[in-house]
Chain A
Amino acid sequence: AQSVTQLGSHVSVSEGALVLLRCNYSSSVPPYLFWYVQYPNQGLQLLLKYTTGATLVKGINGFEAEFKKSETSFHLTKPSAHMSDAAEYFCAVTNMEYGNKLVFGAGTILRVKS
């Protein structure tokens, strides 16, 4: 079975500070991993994804994530937070056996303080 754990339902950072959102996954076979962002009352937008190849993945809006198999982690980072980054972020996992169904974490709400 697959599962995703996002540590911290709420994260608060100052504008210009490092953003680190944590995601740990469980998958019996090599995973495909995703980060999505959701602004209030909107749908989800794909930030970045890992399928195969390079373990450091760059996405939109300056975000990146690193797949660490030994730690079963896929943490999302951004060097310098901007006010517009305030949103809810979801980590998701699937694999070849699970087909196209994604399993989502519970989400982390990011607050950016001025």
Chain B
Amino acid sequence: DVKVTQSSRYLVKRTGEKVFLECVQDMDHENMFWYRQDPGLGLRLIYFSYDVKMKEKGDIPEGYSVSREKKERFSLILESASTNQTSMYLCASSPYSGSSYEQYFGPGTRLTVT
């Protein structure tokens, strides 16, 4: 089975802290994604990566950066956490396939910024 793991299920950080959210997948997938999920707003794409050291902005990249030094690992970085970044963060991966594919999601990290 494909497995996508996230470093923490729950995280509490203070305003201004630098926060790292880690995601690891074990299926040699080329593509990895970071979303945030908020009530009433659904899932929104923050960043995605289609290869090592490659990244593309999603719909809401402001306040975030990412790092992909190894194929299996995709990190989301909050340079200076703010309270409006309190959210559920979901990581996903998918194989590269030109026409049809599926994304595999991790269990999510619920981040609270106080």
Q: Do A and B come from one complex?
A: no
Residues of A within 8 A of B (CB): none
- Residues of B at under 8 Å CB distance from A? none
